[in-house]
Amino acid sequence: MPVKTRNEVVDLKQAVATKSPIRLRCPFANCRAGIIPYSSSTQLNVIENAPACVAIESPTSDPKLSSSTTEFYRIDDVWDFDNIGVSKPSEILPEPIIVGTNSQEGEQERIDVERLLICSECDRGPLGFAGIITGGEKDHRNLKYFLGQDSVVYDVK
């Protein structure tokens, strides 16, 4: 299956505009399970102090754990995923992290990170993290998901 890293995809928005379907896939070469379709409405957030996730530099290299991942796709609805695994709830970071700005009130949105995202086929990762907006009810239905931009490969037709 020919896949690319994010750096090799010349222009994601252009690819979406030309109606080329893009699927984000597991970065591990012997897996490549479909994780989520990319669309023009996929939100990209810059997040500092996020948990370390794997990053992939070329389709032929192995993904490596990187603490410098700062760009994440935000997915609010777990049903948008084709496949995703989540770890059991635990305290992953001691403090909430800022994930963006609330569009209505213009306030910083913080989440308590309590899960790591893994590939549901091969159980490897982390590919991202999930958590609950600080102050929100600790219910798995309130989880917001963040997938590392360089933690996946891009399947562009």
Shortest CB 38 distance to Zn ion, Å:
17
Query: Is omega for the bond preceding 94 within 30 degrees of 0, making it cis?
Result: no
Helix, strand, or coil (residue 99): strand
Shortest CB 41 distance to Zn ion, Å:
25
The residue among 28 and 112 lying less far from Zn ion, judged by its C-beta, is 28
Shortest CB 24 distance to Zn ion, Å:
12
Phi and psi torsions of 8, nearest 5°:
-85, -15
Is the Cβ–Cβ distance between 115 and 92 less than 8 Å? yes
The residue among 31 and 65 lying less far from Zn ion, judged by its C-beta, is 31
The residue among 33 and 93 lying less far from Zn ion, judged by its C-beta, is 33
Is the Cβ–Cβ distance between 128 and 148 less than 8 Å? yes
Binding residues for Zn ion (CB under 5 A)? 26, 28, 31, 33, 119, 121-122
